[in-house]
Amino acid sequence: MLAREFFERKTDLVARDLLGKILVRKISDTLLKGKIVETEAYFGENDPASRAYEGMKNYNKEMWGDPGKIFVYNVHKYWMFNVVAHLKNEVGAVLIRAVQPIDGIEVMMRNRRVNDIKDLTNGPGKLTEAFRIDKSFNGKFLGINTGIWIEDCDEREFFNIGKSFRIGVKKDLRKKLRFYISGNEFVSR
């Protein structure tokens, strides 16, 4: 399991470095696992696409919280799964946009009611539905006791990292803050 110190760094570096790591969700005795293939970094009040843009509110206060905490919010009836990540006295979180399913695929398919593996977790709402992640995890630390954690990948694989502007935002920073594994079929688009 990744240590909390991993998340106590610049938000965009954490977003990039999460690529290739393994998201794990324990449901009863079943482990759902997916390789993280796409992320987006969100900063504080100077980031017009961030939930923190208009200052601290009840719904976004986790972005100011301790790195390694889970931040979940809703967009168009879908839950968005984020991990708080920032330097001390800063604000930020990383949206996990997509994973490549590894283990527990049948359970993920039942959770989403789909049969096509390529459409299973290739977007943030699809991911949370497949992994059964909802608002009840908001504010909790990643960890075995919580039922959601991120592991380092045992295999060292080489992949090219693509970057772009964030998807679906009206106003964005001039910096490319969406990171993805180039050529991976589970990237959202």
Domains of the chain, first to last: 4-181 (3.10.300.10)
Determine what percent of the chain is predicted with pLDDT higher than 70. 99
Per-residue pLDDT for 189 more than 90? Answer: no
5-44 pLDDT tens trace: 999 999 999 999 999 999 999 999 999 999 999 999 999 9
d(CA 108, CA 103): 9
39-67 pLDDT tens trace: 999 999 999 999 999 999 999 999 999 99
d(CA 19, CA 130): 19
Per-residue pLDDT for 153 more than 90? Answer: no
Q: How would you classify residue 142: left for phi > 0, otherwise alpha for psi between -120 and 50, otherwise beta?
A: beta
Q: What is the mean pLDDT of residues 126-155?
A: 95
Model confidence at 141, pLDDT cuts 50, 70, 90, reads very high
Contact 69, 83 (CB under 8 A): yes
Q: What is the mean pLDDT of residues 98-110?
A: 98
Write the DSSP string, 105-140.
HHHHHHHHT---GGGTSSSHHHHHHHTT--GGGTTP
